[in-house]
Amino acid sequence: MKQFFSFIVLLILISTFSLKAQEHGFGLGIMIGEPTGFSAKYWLDDSNALDFGLAYSLFHSKSSISIHCDYVLHNYNLIKSDYKFPVYYGVGGRIHSNSDKTYLGARGVVGLLYIDNKYPIDAFIEIAPVFNLLPETSLNLDFALGARYYFR
């Protein structure tokens, strides 16, 4: 009987954690800026998420594509409002490839997110300095304005 009770408690705890992570779920959308393309976000819990991007660079002399992944933290207390406007920040990596070279770099990102209370959407603006490490060191700046729809 004790094992059965422990099993039920464990199931309740697991389902509670799953519901919390699904509160925001997985979002897919677009971002416009440098680079321009697709954006995805997967919420790990109420304040931590993984942010992804697959995009095409419009402002370089050569055609290039970028893929990034960032681990971001959200602070809901910096902007006091009736709406959800968390400031987010984090670190991640980026692969940027053009016809000549493929770069591997580290990203730091800071942004402002709007989370709609009624509809499963968000909108964001962000800036991300990128320190390319390979094949040579250089500094780039990514910036984007975007929106995502969340599948629940």
45-83 pLDDT tens trace: 999 999 999 999 877 777 899 999 999 999 999 998 888
Main-chain dihedrals φ then ψ at residue 87, nearest 5 degrees: -90, 135
Alpha-carbon gap, residue 135 to 41, rounded angstroms: 29
Instruction: Provide the CA 141 distance to its chain's centre, in angstroms.
Output: 17
The whole-model pTM stands at 0.80
Beta-carbon count within 10 A of 64 CB = 20
In angstroms, the Cα distances linking 46 to 17, 18, 25, 86 are: 11, 12, 10, 11
CATH number for 143: 2.40.160.20
Mean per-residue pLDDT for 93-112?
A: 95
Is 34:142 a contact under the CB 8 Å cutoff? yes
Reported as a single tens digit per residue, the pLDDT across 105-137 is 999 999 999 999 899 999 999 999 999 999 999
Q: Which domain holds residue 83?
A: 2-151
Domains in the chain: how many in total?
A: 1
